[in-house]
Chain A
C-alpha cells in the first residue's frame, strides 16, 4: 500500500498535478502536463524512489498510471 502512495507521489511531483488527478485513466498526451519532458522527470523519479533501472521498452510503454503499475510489477514491485 505504501508503495502505491509512493508511486502516486512520484506522478504528482513529476507532472506537477493534484493527488486527485492520479487515477488509472491518467494517460500520456491526454493530460496536458504529461509531455515528453514530464515523462523523463517521471522516469527519473520512479527510478530513484524504487531504486530500479527501467528498460528502454518499459520507459516508452509507460503510457498511463495503470500501465505504470503493470510494468513495475515486472520489477518485483507489488501494488
Chain B
C-alpha cells in the first residue's frame, strides 16, 4: 500500500463531522417537522468516503455522545454501527457512484436497520422507541397484535422512507464535493478517476 493510501488523518477528522451531521440533520428534520428522522446521514457519508471501519466508529460514537444526555440512545449504537459498516462495504463496491447502486445500498441499509433495531426495541425497551412512533406501536398493540408484529410494522412505516432519503442525500453530497477534496479520503478511487 502506498504512503498516501495509508494516510488516515483526513478520515479521522471526518468522524466528528459525520457525528455532528447526524445530530444536525436530525434537528433540522425536527424543526421542519418532517416525518423522517434523517439522523444517520453522517454515518453513511463517513462509511461512503472512508470505509466500513470509520463508518462504524462514527455510528458508535454518535450514540455514545448523545447518550451523555439521553442514555436511551446508547443501546441503539449497534444499529448505527451496522449502518456505517454496510455503507462502507457498499461504497467499496462502487455503489455510491450510480443511482442503481444507491438504490441497492438503500435497501441493504434499510434491511440492516430492521434486523438490528427491532430486537433492541423489543428486548431492551419493551417495544418503545422513545420517539413519537411509539403512539403507532401502542395503537397496534391495542388492536390486538403481538409486540413483535407491532414493533416491526411501526419500523416499516417510519424507517423505510427515511433510509432511502438518507442514502440519496449522501449520494448527492458526494457529487457536490470537489474532486480534489475527495482525493484525500481512503475510498477516493471509487469516486475520482
Determine if chain A interacts with chain B.
Answer: no
